[in-house]
Structure 1
Amino acid sequence: MFVFAHSWIFLLAPLPLLIWFLVPPRRIQRPVLRVPFLYRVQQSLDEQSKFTRARQRTVPLAIKMVVYLLIITSLARPQWLDPPVSRELPSRDLLLLVDLSGSMEQKDFTNSAGEQVDRLTAVKEVLGDFLLKRDGDRVGLVVFGNGAFLQAPFTTDLQLCHQLLEETEVRMAGPKTTLGDAIGLGVHLFDQSEAPAKTIIALTDGNDTASQVPPVEAAKVARDRDITIYTVAMGDPETVGEEKLDVDSLKQVAAETQGEFFLALNHSELQNIYTKLDEIETREVKVESYRPRIDLFYWPLLAAFLISLLDRAIQLWRSRRHVFEPAEDVRLHVSPVNFDLEVKS
């Protein structure tokens, strides 16, 4: 699409005509001596020479007008607009905390095909689908066991984040559970985030046994930085020992940040939880659109330069061919020193 960025410049196009008609011409008064036989000189000029000189005066004026209009066109900044290009701006940073402790290898979940699978496999199946629907969000992945480790920084490449989730294995980060440290790492990652909404989804199936910072204390820091935490507990809450679910702590972590606590006892409940999370964490996709512009002002500017150059070359060529041209009017100027012959056209 061809447009002008400053189309108002064309209002200056009639400016030379306005100056021509409104501004009085400059007149120079000089003493002259008129020749009484001037009319005879004028009669000696044939009609063809008059037409030629009139044409020579008209052509340079037309060329100057064309050059002027080309300069005006260049100042109007002609541009070619390409088709619009749109991109989605992230409206939320979403961080997933996935427990890789030893208890995640317990096979008490059934997948969509009806097969008995371990807890981590069920998480990968449900959480993977949840991930791929997060268009408009930046997603990060943190795994934790004996310690918390960044698996994927915040990115809009959801396919990459899903692939890194698929590559995780039980006990890859150690057999213990450090949920508090994982929340602390997540809070640190959000320090560089400028997204208007910040969310953590923490998934664990055990009691925090090795964190340097208790989960509730880490949640208070997250609350002060406007981070919402949703906790998802997997497994039987009646389990005892190190693998028992600390439901009270998980509920308190969610409550501190105005999030919610969910309990998943099987694959169906886990899937329903992420469906509900998808409804709660609605996505406000912001779209930024722009149209690439290609400037074309140099083309009329180049044309004006070439026309001016050609006009000047023609004038030089004519001046060499016609060294002298007869005058229409001859006047003798009186001077204290000498007489000047003036040619008046």
Structure 2
Amino acid sequence: MFDFATPAAFLLLPLPLLAMRLLPGREAVTGALILPESIGRVLPKDAREGVSVRIRRTVPIILWLSLVLALAGPQRLAPVDALPVSGRDLVVALDLSGSMEQKDFTLDGDTVSRLEAVKAVGKRFVEGRGGDRVGLVLFAEKAYVAAPLTFDVAAVSRAIDEATIGISGRSTSIAGGLGVALKRLERGEARSRVVVLLSDGADTSGNVLPADVARLAKSLGVTVYTIALGPEDQEARPNDPDAVDTRTLRQVAEASGGRTFRVRSTNDLEQVTAAIDRLEQSGLDRPPATVRSDDWIWPALVAFACSLFLVVSRRAM
């Protein structure tokens, strides 16, 4: 489909004719050889008006037409498939406490740390959220926003890959991480707002109970899904400093209306992300969008070439 951005520019087309008719004429000062009419009639036509003269008369017309066409802004409109937009905001809150260094997960046959396993699966999870606005919060002793809410899921995936233990302390503040995530979501206008919180330890902040923050999340309309990482539970091994506080994470999820998932292996983690995908499906069909391709540069180049020709031909005369 072809269109013009400013079709009113075509009103300029008769401007040179109006200028010739309305402006006072200028007497040309030229040198000429006057011949008798009888001699002029027998001269060849090319001798009276050569090809170059006709070209010099035509080029200004082409120049003006090209300029007006460029000002009109020719453009092509082509339909393309619109990106799916789900209307969902999702923040991943990732625990970066010291216990995430524990190497008790298996990934592709190799023993890796909990953080490496979470990175591998978390990146795939985020990259599959096309159409969602996704953000990333990292927390340990303190929490901070590593990636603001964005449709650029590849950028969030890179932020997960670059996460490093120790940059925000080594203890665990689940309440702090959840609170920062809620801060990013509280003013959102998305029809669905979700926090996916991954932790492998117990809350050690002592300032605010995670369950209280979860109740705040529910009042804000935010659903929290928690993922408890690690082979051991505090309920079974209360004296193990690296055991995960499954009870607290379950309370957080239930208080907000979400679910909690228990993960003891990489395979469990992959199944959890698949389950969250089903619970919070991404993607919403949209009608095709129209993309505009501007073509004004081509008539502008023609006008420039004509101007250059007139300058060079005048100097050569």
TM over 0.5: yes
Paired with 1:272 and 1:172, the residues of 2 have a C-alpha distance of: 29
Residue 248 (1) aligns with residue 244 (2)? no
- Structure 2 match to 1:260: 259
- Structure 1 match to 2:99: 103
Q: Deviations over 1:45-88 (max 9, x none)?
A: xxxxxxxxxxxxxxxxxxxxxxxxxxxxxxxxxx9661125543
Q: In the TM superposition, what is the alpha-carbon distance from 1:191 to its structure 2 partner?
A: 2.6
Whether the 8 Å contact between 1:180 and 1:211 is mirrored in structure 2 is no
Q: In the TM superposition, what is the alpha-carbon distance from 1:194 to its structure 2 partner?
A: 1.4
- Structure 1 match to 2:210: 215
TM-score, normalized by length of structure 1?
A: 0.60
Q: Which has the larger radius of gyration?
A: 1
Aligned residue for 2:186, secondary structure, equals helix
- Structure 2 match to 1:190: 185
- Structure 1 match to 2:37: none
Alpha carbons of 1:265 and 1:290: their partners in 2 closer, same or farther (altered >3 Å)? same
Q: Deviations over 1:233-292 (max 9, x none)?
A: 011113434433222211111111111110001111111111111111112425362454
Aligned residue for 1:142, secondary structure, equals strand
Alpha carbons of 1:290 and 1:219: their partners in 2 closer, same or farther (altered >3 Å)? same
Paired with 1:192 and 1:87, the residues of 2 have a C-alpha distance of: 26
- Structure 2 match to 1:275: 274
Alpha carbons of 1:172 and 1:291: their partners in 2 closer, same or farther (altered >3 Å)? closer
- Structure 2 match to 1:153: 148
Counterparts of residues 23-34 of structure 1 (less than 5 Å)? none
- Structure 1 match to 2:229: 234
Which deviates further from its counterpart, 118-127 or 276-285?
A: 276-285
Q: In the TM superposition, what is the alpha-carbon distance from 1:192 to its structure 2 partner?
A: 3.2
Alpha carbons of 1:2 and 1:117: their partners in 2 closer, same or farther (altered >3 Å)? closer
Unaligned runs of 5+ in 2: 5-73, 295-317
Amino acid at match of 1:111: L
- Structure 1 match to 2:110: 115
Paired with 1:2 and 1:145, the residues of 2 have a C-alpha distance of: 56
Which deviates further from its counterpart, 114-123 or 204-213?
A: 204-213
Paired with 2:145 and 2:3, the residues of 1 have a C-alpha distance of: 50
Amino acid at match of 1:190: L
Residue 166 (1) aligns with residue 165 (2)? no
Alpha carbons of 1:161 and 1:293: their partners in 2 closer, same or farther (altered >3 Å)? closer
Alpha carbons of 1:143 and 1:3: their partners in 2 closer, same or farther (altered >3 Å)? closer
Aligned residue for 1:125, secondary structure, equals helix
Unaligned runs of 5+ in 1: 5-78, 295-345
Q: In the TM superposition, what is the alpha-carbon distance from 1:178 to its structure 2 partner?
A: 0.3
Pick one of 114, 121, 128 that aligns with 2:123: 128
Q: In the TM superposition, what is the alpha-carbon distance from 1:212 to its structure 2 partner?
A: 2.5
Whether the 8 Å contact between 1:239 and 1:245 is mirrored in structure 2 is no
CA RMSD of aligned residues (A): 2.6
Pick one of 139, 142, 148 that aligns with 2:137: 142
Counting matched residue pairs gives 224
Q: In the TM superposition, what is the alpha-carbon distance from 1:166 to its structure 2 partner?
A: 0.7
Alpha carbons of 1:292 and 1:218: their partners in 2 closer, same or farther (altered >3 Å)? same
- Structure 2 match to 1:200: 195
Residue 175 (1) aligns with residue 156 (2)? no
TM-score, normalized by length of structure 2?
A: 0.65
Whether the 8 Å contact between 1:179 and 1:211 is mirrored in structure 2 is no
Aligned residue for 1:104, secondary structure, equals helix
Paired with 1:160 and 1:182, the residues of 2 have a C-alpha distance of: 20
Alpha carbons of 1:115 and 1:291: their partners in 2 closer, same or farther (altered >3 Å)? closer
